[in-house]
Amino acid sequence: MVSTDFDVTIIGAGPSGTVAACLLMQHGLRVCLVERDEFPRFSIGESLLPQSMDYLRQANMLDTLLDNADELGFQFKNGAAFFRSGHHTNFNFEEKFTPGPGTTYQVKRAQFDNLLADEAIKQGAEIRFAQQVTNFTTNGQGTCIEVTDLKTQQHSKITARFTLDASGFGRVLPRLLSLEEPSELAQRKAIFTHFKDNINCPKFDRNKILITVHPTMADVWYWLIPFGDSTVSVGVVGETRQIEQADQSLEQTLLKFISEDDNLSTLLADAEIIAQVRTIGGYSSNVKQLYGDRFALLGNAGEFLDPVFSSGVTIALRSAVQACELVVKELNGENIDWQNEYEVPLREGISVFKYFVNAWYDTSLQSVIFFADGQPDVKAMICSILAGYAWDKNNPFVKSTGRGLRILEQICEPETASTI
């Protein structure tokens, strides 16, 4: 056996990286995470899905989240609320079709990622912060990553028997190995920030993310994510041509879009911006393959869809769980078919989310969401996917997503719409 510094190196110390580290250490493996930033640091993806709770449990990290949620201002979440042109509808995740956790949290990612990183260190992982990966090589027996310390500018090499790329939007290995491909999804842009919300509407449910459709542009939408400390994350998403305002600052643009929706502008009438207004664009991505010789891609490093259904963290953690099981087997000498044991099954769930994303923007799924209240069994199945259970093949809308939604479009008539 070739001598290496570690059994596994992980590029990135976000949720997929730290969960992967903890899963691998359960098998006695030596793990080093290399992170470009210093923690805590800002990230998007603040509204978790209930399926993620099971993955955190498998990594022995769930208790840490539960014990610290209140102190860190995380908000209990039990569903999603949707609003479009006067129509409200709610999905209660505890009424979903698929067994498993039905509640989760809405989290400030700086604190959430830092919490998971601290827990990974407690469990035995080594994390090297402020390290930029500049090169990656593999010789069939192990891997070598070259890194630059962003504080000292010193260069070093780290060898391992296997490498996982959990670098998120940094997409380190796809860039270094020319694995990137254009996404099938339209390129969109988001503008967002945090507010001290001062919301006093008695009907507002802080336990749910609120997704609002723009009143005149059906493919433009807003998120409103409440936190437990009377603050909210608010963003608007649309195609770049719809969002960019050449004569306005980001703050002015965001406030203008908020003012265009009566319900959202009423809720946020007394809100105060308390953070930098940020933007991210061209975030949808894809790659030629999710694995290679002695490496695999996790989460956003492989494929990122769209923020509309908050699927990013769930896909990331799912990929960590699936990949780590195979890494352990490979390092124990088993022959692994990464295509059929990792890429194919992981992409099955991603494809379900992708279909939902496309159907949201062509508005066919919007019709289903707003007019499904008269179909409780069907609503429970849709609810399961919105809760993150996109790999449950017992759910007809997972097994045959396109056909199921097309049929559902025909039976969900506007007359059944909820006006709660």
**Contact between 68 and 118 (Cβ < 8 Å):** no
Other residues' Cβ atoms within 10 Å of the Cβ of residue 29 = 21
pTM above 0.75, yes or no: yes
CA–CA separation, 312 vs 304, rounded Å? 7
Task: pLDDT band for 404, please (50, 70, 90 cuts).
Answer: confident
| Interaxial angle between packed helices 312-331 and 51-58, expressed in degrees from 0 to 180 and rounded to the nearest 10 | 30
Task: pLDDT band for 373, please (50, 70, 90 cuts).
Answer: low
173: nearest Cα among 68, 293, 90: 293
List strand residue ranges (DSSP E) for 112-267, in order: 126-128, 131-138, 143-149, 155-165, 180-181, 188-196, 208-213, 221-226, 231-239
Indicate whether 408 pLDDT > 90.
no
**pLDDT tens by residue, 153-169:** 999 999 999 999 999 98
pLDDT at 199: 96
Indicate whether 418 pLDDT > 70.
no
Write the single-letter amino acid at 72.
L
Indicate whether 3 pLDDT > 70.
no
pLDDT at 401: 81
Q: Among 212-221, 347-356, 373-382, 390-399, which is the least confidently predicted range?
A: 373-382
pLDDT at 281: 82
Task: pLDDT band for 8, please (50, 70, 90 cuts).
Answer: very high
Q: What count of Cα atoms within 13 Å lies in the side-chain half-sphere of residue 100? A: 24
pLDDT at 35: 98
Indicate whether 244 pLDDT > 90.
no
Which of residues 217 and 415 earns the better pLDDT score? Answer: 217
Indicate whether 236 pLDDT > 70.
yes
pLDDT at 372: 66
pLDDT at 375: 76
Residue 175, exposed/middle/buried by CB under 10 A (0-12, 13-18, 19+)? middle
Task: pLDDT band for 89, please (50, 70, 90 cuts).
Answer: very high
Task: pLDDT band for 337, please (50, 70, 90 cuts).
Answer: very high
403: nearest Cα among 373, 371, 364: 364
Indicate whether 99 pLDDT > 60.
yes
Domains of the chain, first to last: 6-77+101-182+284-349 (3.50.50.60), 188-281 (3.30.9.100), 362-416 (no CATH)
**90, β-bridge pairs:** 81
